[in-house]
Amino acid sequence: MNDNKTRQGLGLLTLGALGVVYGDIGTSPLYTMKEVFHPANGVPLDAPDVIGAVSVIFWALMVVVTLKYVILILRADNRGEGGIMALTALAAGGTPARRTLLLLTGVLGAALFYGDSVITPAISVLGAVEGLEVITPTLKPYVLPISVAIIFGLFMAQRFGTEAVGKLFGPIISIWFAVLAVVGVLQVVQQPAILAALNPLEALSFLHARGWHLFLVMGSIVLALTGAEALYADMGHFGARPIRIAWTGLVLPSLALNYMGQGALLMRDPSALESPFYRLFPQAWLIPAVLLATAASVIASQAVISGAYSMTKQAIQLGLLPRMRVLNTSEKEAGQIYVPTVNWIVMVAVLLAILGFGSSSALASAYGIAVTVTMLITTLLTFFVVRYVWRYSLAVALAATAVFGVVDAVLVAACSLKILQGGWFPLAMGAAIFAVMATWKRGRELLIEHIRRDDPELLPFVGALSHDGGVHRTARTAVYAVANPDTVPQALMHNLKHYQVLHEQNIILTVKFEEVPRIDDAERIELVGLVEGFWRVQVRYGFMDQPDIPRALAHCAMHGLAIEPGATSYFLSREIVVPTKGAGMAHWREALFAAMSRNAGSVADFFRLPHNCVVELGTRVQI
């Protein structure tokens, strides 16, 4: 009975992984073959080159996705979590210089992920809706309006959560991959010579024949690999085993058969290059094919949009972005969240991409660069995990990652050739987001340094208070949330100066977000008694945890400090940052940090403090 339940649970997880993890890479056949044989690449549309191109795609899937991600990188979990932020936290150890360098590298990869979150919905939906042109050219003027409407509806629906729709993701994507395989097989049967693409020598011969044009072709081949990062990013939701089963059992065979089917079609009918994917279908199947492709593209878009929400939450809790409103959309799944600010920014960027580029072919030039740089960063971080976390020898670490690093570097170089044709778009977004993250992190460091420098030390201050019998004490608990636990909270000094009152229980509270996914409740609280009536409490969270300060403080009772929720007041200090020229950061960065600080989300909301128990005080700070 338990074995049956285990198999049933594994089956459901595998089905879920199909829907969430593989939507992006699963929609690549919509446009990849068309772009490989684009006239600008200079690849002749003859049988040897078609076989060679399909062989390169097949072996790229084998090397990059199967060997690198499925076999190697899925092992590099950070307490069960995956994704570039989790990998960065895992790899960033050792000397301070190496730690800083790896953190900056990981932040760059995270920033570029947002570029993927914009390009994927745009190219996937456009590529699917362009099937209308194959049904009849008279529908071409409606492609852009329909694509815009689908994207607008998709982002408007985000606030309702994906729990209900998510149950359909797995079955729809399963049907999608089954259809990919079936239509591919129907073409392969008619042109079995395409099976020669399974021979890796065909791929090597094709690449050798390209000469320096190799980079142009690889810039299109990479379209077949976009979405590979999702295998690792979503590991925390499904686990490594379901992701591996889905890839080897359905996704890889279906993709391989479909690409070979498109190749077989092009060998028989070169005119099919106009739309090799949709020409796989008989005329009577075209409308259902467009509808199914559109559904698959929406699912692929949903996966990266949800990934942007998760990445934002992790970045906030690692101190790389200001607080934002994060809403849970499911009572059962903590990972299903909605971030309104990110939703509207990404929606506007996607709509601008669709309207600005106008077609999936134009967007293809913009697609690869952000993805390939992120893939290269992942390989680099994995080297440090293999060498310094798993403690393998240098030779083993290089053997495990060097080939992948070379392949990734070639793909980055290939995509770099298309920077002027559209590759600048995700790079510009990534650079802007990197600047925001770096500015916020450095600004917080400067702010804490200022507080530490200007505020009196805590221990002498509270020591003097404990001997002062003239201060009136009220029978309540005061919680002072501070960034620096060694100096006196501004709110405490205001209470004494203006109200001449001191609470019976005073808690100096700091919240620390660790570079691990989650912290066990048993390790959540660190409590130290200072003097009579004063305690220093540190609450620890992982970057995947949901902060809840009242719930965390309830654990203080196990350490001998009972806190009555109805008799507790939370005092918060809100620093009003005033940018100044001189030391610190560049003036524009200080102005940016000040603007972000002003517009940061509510501390009370972020830490789930009861609103009727919060007192917030403002302090002007020059940095």
Which residues does the chain have with pLDDT short of 50? Answer: 1-2, 5
Per the CB < 8 A criterion, the answer to whether 516 and 78 are in contact is yes
- Decide if 378 is inside a domain: yes
Residues 415 and 500 in one domain: no
Residues 292 and 374 in one domain: yes
CA dihedral of residues 134, 136, 142, 148 (deg, nearest 10): -20
Q: Is 509 left (phi over 0), alpha (psi -120 to 50) or beta?
A: beta
- Decide if 4 is inside a domain: no
Domain edge (last residue) among 419, 441, 463: 441
The pLDDT score that the predictor gives to residue 585 is 87
Rounded distance, CA 370 to CA 561, Å? 51
Sheet arrangement for strand 501-513: 525-529, 534-541, 501-513, 472-481, 568-578, 614-622
Residue identified by tokens 């009152």 is 501
Which tokens belong to 216?
A: 């142009």
The pLDDT score that the predictor gives to residue 2 is 46
Domain edge (last residue) among 386, 406, 441: 441
The pLDDT score that the predictor gives to residue 306 is 80
Residues 373 and 462 in one domain: no
Which tokens belong to 168?
A: 């359909």
Q: What is the DSSP letter of 455?
A: S
Helix axes 252-268, 163-190, angle to 10 degrees: 40
Residues 426 and 345 in one domain: yes
- Decide if 450 is inside a domain: no
User: What's the pLDDT tens digit per position in 193-243?
Assistant: 999 999 999 999 999 999 888 898 999 999 999 888 878 877 777 788 999
- Decide if 447 is inside a domain: no
- Decide if 86 is inside a domain: yes
Q: 387: domain CATH number? A: 1.20.1740.10
Give the HSE-up count for residue 84: Cα atoms under 13 Å, Cβ half-sphere.
30
Residues in a beta bridge with 622: 578
Q: Which residues of 92-116 are buried (b: 16+ CB within 10 A; e: fewer)?
A: beeeeeeeeebbbbbbbbbbbbbbb
- Coil/strand/helix, residue 576: strand
AA identity, residue 51: I
Residues 161 and 204 in one domain: yes
Residues 375 and 505 in one domain: no
The pLDDT score that the predictor gives to residue 189 is 97
- Decide if 479 is inside a domain: yes
- Sequence-ordered alpha helix ranges (H) in 22-142: 23-26, 32-36, 47-60, 84-91, 96-129, 131-135
**φ and ψ at 527, to 5 degrees?**
-120, 130
Helix axes 360-384, 394-416, angle to 10 degrees: 160
- Decide if 448 is inside a domain: no
Rounded distance, CA 135 to CA 155, Å? 28
Rounded distance, CA 95 to CA 203, Å? 42
Supply the DSSP string of 107-121, one letter for each residue: HHHHHHHHHHHHHHH
Residues 214 and 302 in one domain: yes
Residues 340 and 470 in one domain: no
Q: Are strands 472-481 and 501-513 parallel, antiparallel or unpaired?
A: parallel
Using alpha carbons only, give the angle 318, 105, 590 rounded to the nearest 5 degrees: 60
- Coil/strand/helix, residue 577: strand
The pLDDT score that the predictor gives to residue 1 is 40
Using alpha carbons only, give the angle 304, 310, 314 rounded to the nearest 5 degrees: 140
User: What's the pLDDT tens digit per position in 356-379?
Assistant: 999 988 888 888 888 899 899 999
Radius of gyration of the chain (CA): 28
Q: What range defines the domain where residue 392 resides?
A: 9-441
Q: What is the DSSP letter of 335?
A: T
Tell me how many domains the chain contains.
Answer: 2
Residues 346 and 318 in one domain: yes
Residues 111 and 43 in one domain: yes
Q: Which helix (H) or strand (E) holds 570?
A: strand 568-578
Rounded distance, CA 233 to CA 85, Å? 9
Distances (CA, A) of 399 to 382, 393, 406: 12, 10, 12
- Coil/strand/helix, residue 533: coil
Q: Which helix (H) or strand (E) holds 513?
A: strand 501-513
Using alpha carbons only, give the angle 402, 408, 414 rounded to the nearest 5 degrees: 140
Q: Which of 209, 260, 248 is nearest to 57 (CA)?
A: 260
Domain edge (last residue) among 379, 407, 441: 441
Residues 280 and 397 in one domain: yes
AA identity, residue 10: L
Environment class of 14 (CB within 10 Å of its CB; exposed 0-12, middle 13-18, buried 19+): buried
AA identity, residue 334: A
Which tokens belong to 327?
A: 């809403």
Per the CB < 8 A criterion, the answer to whether 511 and 547 are in contact is yes
Rounded distance, CA 122 to CA 353, Å? 7
Claim: this prediction has a pTM higher than 0.75: yes
- Decide if 432 is inside a domain: yes
Residues 182 and 274 in one domain: yes
Rounded distance, CA 31 to CA 29, Å? 5
